[in-house]
Amino acid sequence: MDGVQATRLIKDEFPETAVLVLTENINDAYVIDAIHAGAGGYMFLKDMSPQLLLQSIHRVGEGGTQMTAALLHTAVENLLQNGRKTLAERTAEAAHLTEREVDVLRLMGNGDSNKVIGATLGITLDTTKKHVRNVIDKLQARSRTHAAIIAAQAGIVGSPLKSLATLADQLADLADGRTAAGEST
């Protein structure tokens, strides 16, 4: 069984379990498949510091998303070449989200954890989890990361390419030892 199959089985049996896929292949074609299977992150191990690995584990464990910039580039190329649905189809799917769910989805698109989303919106952690689950279900996504990609494709989180570029910048900041908010860890 490969990592994608393992992720799918884990998420089917234990949907609340966070999965971070680790790879040694920078050109890994499984990035999108792993996200569709429910992985919250996908990281390239070569030259990764133990500190960055630990930060990545914590980020995904808290409900955030994590992906190295190189693997994000692979994922974007894969989406552009083999996208599952058109922008119009994604937008139509997203149209039935409530205003609060769109707010939650925007923050999910930023890679924010449930804790950060709740604090930003002034709602409890339980309410945040309910909204996140509703967003994932309504978008028919397999994970938070998958929902964020759908949001980017649909233009809910800015323009798809701009959102992905922002995410890539945030990931580069993390690689330099800063959090997505620009604070020291």
Predicted confidence (pLDDT) per residue in 29-59, tens digit? 677 778 878 898 888 887 788 998 999 899 9
C-alpha span between 109 and 180 (Å, rounded): 12
pLDDT in tens, 3-37: 888 888 898 889 889 999 888 876 666 777 788 78
Given a cut of 70, whether residue 84 has pLDDT beyond it is no
Extract the tokens encoding 99: 């205003």
The answer, yes or no, to whether residue 155 has pLDDT greater than 80, is no
As a whole number, the mean pLDDT across the chain is: 76
Q: Which residue has the higher pLDDT, 173 or 13?
A: 13
- Quickly state the pLDDT bin for 181 (edges 50, 70, 90): very low
For tokens 């992906």, the residue is: 67
Window from 93-107, 119-133, 147-161 with minimum mean pLDDT: 147-161
**35 with 145: CB under 8 angstroms?**
yes
> Residue 92 above 50 pLDDT?
no
- Which element (helix H / strand E) includes 2? none
CA 60-83-46 angle, to 5 degrees, is 40
pTM: 0.47
Q: Rounded to an integer, what distance in angstroms lies between the CA atom of residue 79 and that of residue 76?
A: 5
